[in-house]
Structure 1
Amino acid sequence: MSTHTTSVFESSLSELHIDCTRTDSSEFVDILHDVIEEPAVGTPFEGYDVSLENTRVELNPTPRQLRNAAVGVTPIERAIAEYGSLVIESNTAGNEPVSLYPPTHVGVVRESDIIPDVESATTYLSNRFTAGKSTVFATGVSSTGDMGALVEGVHGPKTVHVILLTDQ
């Protein structure tokens, strides 16, 4: 990952009107609390230097907590710089529903996990698919134009915020 790739990612997010906050692990909890609204739900951050433990985010939410959540917070295993896409892994912790159901999604991306383009993701995706796992590419807020005029927030979050971890 290069500083150019990170710059392209941040620029792509800006074009999508997605806020991105850079931080290191020491400031993560403060930044998280600045960008979330309660009630917030989230999934564990396996292999990250940060955690949602001891935050105002409810881990492993029940269906009721998920329905009532204003914000969902998830780790993002890869991000596609060219499009500003977040690659959301399907897992037993519930990354997909936590990222797609609440009106706001906060995706936490390690700078080292930003890749330049979709082609760069093929080996990563191939390994996931071979293991029988799925992945969602989320680019911007939910929107559809299937029925005519473009409508946002129909089948996913109306707002997305990225927290970019710079020391991972």
Structure 2
Amino acid sequence: MLSALEVFTTVVVGVMVGVEFAVAFVMNRILGALPDDASQTGHSHGGRMLGAIMPVWYIASLVLAGIWAVAGRHHHGTGLVVTAAALLILSVIMSVLLLVPINNRNKAWTPGNRPADWKEQLNRWNRWHYARVAVIIAAFASLVAALV
């Protein structure tokens, strides 16, 4: 049963990493290449869509890592799982304090009501997002290392 939990947790976190990596290095570049109105509308729609699912995914990943750490506390690799859980906690804190406030503003913007500094705010979100992606990649790598 523990093996199934380990694999399931690793897959859930790994897919989350893939989505966030794609947002950072694929979607944001595609949206950034569009004209301003289309770019801003795309970012706003993405903020609403991903803003609804990603909090659940982050918390579920953290809970799964926590369960793995407790269930496998007497097994090899538990320190790595605890490290991954700590990194996932950091990613949630970063999200709540740094990224969500910008996203909450962004998802309400339209070409008619966006602030003059909307690009600067999105650039700030992107910089924090890159840091968060690095954190969750480290969490994922810790989980993978705990498996071997």
Q: What TM-score, normalized by structure 2, do the two folds share? A: 0.24
Q: What TM-score, normalized by structure 1, do the two folds share? A: 0.23
Higher relative contact order (CA 8 A, sep 6+): 2
